[in-house]
Structure 1
Amino acid sequence: METILFIVLIIIVLISVFFLYSMQQKLTDLQKPKEGDENLFIMIQNQIQEQARSVQDLTKTLDQKIAESTKSMNTSQQHLHTTLQEQFSQNTRLIQGISGQSTKMIGEITEKLTSLDKTNQQVIGFSAQLTNLEKVLTSQKQRGNLGEAGLQLVLENILPPGAFALQYEFEDGDTVDAAVFTKDGIIPVDAKFPLENYNKLVNEDNKERRAALEKAFKNDLKKRIDETAKYIKPQAGTMEFAFMFIPAEAIYYDLLVNEVGAVKVNTRNLIEYAFQERKVIIVSPTTFAAYLQTVLQGLRALKIEESAKSIRKNVEMLQKHIKAYEAYMQKLGNSMQTTTNHYNAAYKELGKIDKDVVRITQGERQIEVESIEGPMRTEE
């Protein structure tokens, strides 16, 4: 606004100067042809003077306006400078605050991205492990190794090292996955993992294929039972039964409740067949651990019994030593009794000698005969 006013004032000054210049030219032109006309000249001169005063007043007013405008502009400029400086300071603080927050947020985002990267690495690791597990569960040989590893873990967590053996070989060359040693004999344990037909049966929806898979599953399980039963060898020192270890609780539970997934399979007959006809007890990690606790208690009782036998044997030997000591003490007592008798007899003879001396010398007795008692004998 002040800039526009300043421009208008400059335009007015220019117009006034131009007007004065024009009047001066007219005056000059009038002076040449009409030098005798004094009144007209005076009148024009007066007008010029008035116009000059007007211009002077206008110039003065213009100077005042320019001064006021300059002052106002300086004030406005100073105020604007102060405002801009404050705004700049505020913006600087705001930018610094935003920069600090941005740096913090970038740090947090970087940290979260790092954590997310670690999580992704873990997920990738889990995925790889699941892939490996899937490969293990797909391969029958690997499944067997997994079952044996689960069996070993249960045995090592419950029984002492000498109470079992892994990959126990019989004299005829058969090798069972594990053997548990008890007082009454060896308990063979074979790890089985009938997973392939089980998974097919659970995931099958077609009734016809499901019926075929049910039959295959039961035949597979029956085959595993028969394989375990061949390790029952009483002539080789085994018990009259064996354990068939299923390392998957889910499969064992389905067998126990007579149901596989949503399909009911007559597995109860197989369990009865295993126990009654083949003397095979089907166990899971949980139930096998319970059986092993019973075996462990039996081993502890056997250890206590063996310790009691050893203690009794040592007591019998101690009794023999005491009797021998008693015999020697009796002999020592007899010897001491004989010595005491000899001592008392010798003292009596010494007393007789003293009496003889007294009779000869007519003096007094000098020796007092003292007898001692022998050791007391106890009646047996």
Structure 2
Amino acid sequence: MEPIAFSFDQPLFQLGALPVAAGHLITAAALLMALLAIMAARRNRALRADERAEQITALLAAQTEMQGRIAAMTDVFGARQAELNQSLSQRIDGMTHRIGASISEQTKATHENLRRLQERLAVIDSAQNNIQALAKDMAGLQSILSNKQTRGAFGQSRMEAIVADGLPIGAYTFQATLSNGGRPDCVIRMPNDQPPLVIDAKFPLEAWNAMRDAASAERRQQAAQAFRRDMEVHIRDIAGKYLLSGETQETAFLFVPSESIFAEIHEHFEAIVQKAHRQRVVIVSPSLLLLAIQVIQAILKDARMREQAHLIQGEVVRLMEDLSRLDERVRKLQGHFAMAQKDIDDILVSSDKLTRRGAKIETLELETVPPPERSSKGEGLSERSIDGRIGQLKLRVVDED
């Protein structure tokens, strides 16, 4: 069997005047498939373009929405940032104001503290100057007390100041001379022709300074013995020179110009005090001397009052006489006032009757009334009698004046 020969150019059918072969069909099919493929590709591209357009639109919408949100967020963030900036500015301003006020207060407090510090420094400088001046004075006082003559002048000047401040001039004498030639530092005159009181202002200070400046107990004991001996000698000299029978008081004062020395003597040297008392010499400090001067001043004042007692009694007698005359005149004046009061009462009675009569005349209540008779009590007095009574009263008052 022979194989059938197939050719693509062999027409299969006649399409009008155009023969159609298998090749043509295949070509047409291929073209159709290609066209379908192209159309499918175009459709796919169109679909993809639409999808892309939708995506672009969605992206544009999302971008627009994002831009709106970004703008809203920008506005919100701008407002928040403005509020934050304003809040920060207010806080910074408040902090700046508080810091400025605090710095001002601190500055004022610092200036005030500096001013007070300067005042205190000025006070300290003044006190330091006073201390330096006092140190100089103490050095001068030490130099004075180291010299016996100047020390005696210092004690005497202090005693003289106390006496002169407390007693009147003429009641005392400094450096008076006694009958035995002794010259006490002060003599105070006593009232009622009593002997004067003698005061001695010399005090043995060398042994006292040695005892105070002693470096050891042995040196101090030796200085204490020397001081005790000097005090006993001085007390004996005062008793022998200044206690003169009938010329001076039986007691003399030994003036110690320091309260501390006076206290030390009475505390540690009781034997010296007792011996001075036995010899009628009283050791006195400035305060005790001032007290004694005040007592003497009171005694002098009492004596002067007693001396003037007879003058006071005479003045009292004359005062009583004046009081008696005053009492007599007051009693006379009281009698005159009583008589004047009686006359005034009579005048008031007559005036009252005249007033009532005038009231009746005003109301035209006239009636025939017999003339009133003059009674013993002065009722119904006429105007002439009233004038006469008043004139007598004036004359009486004038006579009494």
Distance 1:115 1:227 in 2: 56
Matched ranges for 1:1-380 at <5 A: 42=46, 45-46=49-50, 49-50=53-54, 52-139=56-143, 140=145, 141=147, 144-166=152-174, 168=176, 176-182=184-190, 183-194=193-204, 197-198=207-208, 201=211, 206-225=216-235, 228=238, 232=242, 234=244, 238-239=248-249, 241-257=251-267, 259=268, 267-277=269-279, 279-304=280-305, 306-307=307-308
Going from structure 1 to structure 2, the CA distance change for 1:175 and 1:124 (only over 3 Å counts) comes to: farther
Q: By how many angstroms is 1:71 displaced?
A: 1.1
Instruction: Determine helix, strand or coil for the equivalent of 2:232.
Output: helix
Distance 1:307 1:147 in 2: 37
Going from structure 1 to structure 2, the CA distance change for 1:144 and 1:126 (only over 3 Å counts) comes to: farther
**RCO comparison, higher one (Cα < 8 Å, 6+):** 1
TM-score for both structures, normalised by structure 1: 0.56
TM-score for both structures, normalised by structure 2: 0.53
Instruction: Determine helix, strand or coil for the equivalent of 1:161.
Output: coil
Going from structure 1 to structure 2, the CA distance change for 1:305 and 1:41 (only over 3 Å counts) comes to: closer
Q: Quick check: 65-74 or 132-141, which moved more?
A: 132-141
Distance 1:213 1:222 in 2: 14
The residue type paired with residue 120 of structure 2 is: L
8 A Cα contact 1:169 1:175, kept in partner: yes
8 A Cα contact 2:242 2:252, kept in partner: yes
8 A Cα contact 1:232 1:241, kept in partner: no
The residue type paired with residue 155 of structure 1 is: V
The residue type paired with residue 281 of structure 2 is: V
Q: By how many angstroms is 1:248 displaced?
A: 1.9
The residue type paired with residue 269 of structure 1 is: A
Aligned pair count? 268
8 A Cα contact 1:179 1:189, kept in partner: yes
User: Can you list the C-alpha shifts for 1:252-303, whole angstroms capped at 9, x where unaligned?
Assistant: 233224x2xxxxxxx33323443444x5321112332343244334433543
Unaligned 5+ residue runs, structure 2?
A: 1-40, 314-401
Going from structure 1 to structure 2, the CA distance change for 1:307 and 1:171 (only over 3 Å counts) comes to: same
Going from structure 1 to structure 2, the CA distance change for 1:41 and 1:192 (only over 3 Å counts) comes to: farther
Going from structure 1 to structure 2, the CA distance change for 1:309 and 1:124 (only over 3 Å counts) comes to: same
Distance 1:269 1:235 in 2: 26
Q: Partner residue of 1:378?
A: none
Across the aligned residues of Structure 1 and Structure 2, the Cα RMSD in angstroms comes to 4.1
Distance 1:96 1:193 in 2: 72
8 A Cα contact 1:194 1:221, kept in partner: yes
The residue type paired with residue 232 of structure 1 is: Y
User: Can you list the C-alpha shifts for 1:170-222, whole angstroms capped at 9, x where unaligned?
Assistant: 79997644332233344332324555644654575733222112113213433
8 A Cα contact 1:188 1:231, kept in partner: no
Going from structure 1 to structure 2, the CA distance change for 1:136 and 1:114 (only over 3 Å counts) comes to: same
Q: By how many angstroms is 1:246 displaced?
A: 0.8
User: Can you list the C-alpha shifts for 1:296-323, whole angstroms capped at 9, x where unaligned?
Assistant: 34433543465469999xxxxxxxxxxx
Distance 2:245 2:185 in 1: 19
8 A Cα contact 1:138 1:196, kept in partner: no
User: Can you list the C-alpha shifts for 1:7-33, whole angstroms capped at 9, x where unaligned?
Assistant: xxxxxxxxxxxxxxxxxxxxxxxxxxx
Distance 1:296 1:114 in 2: 50
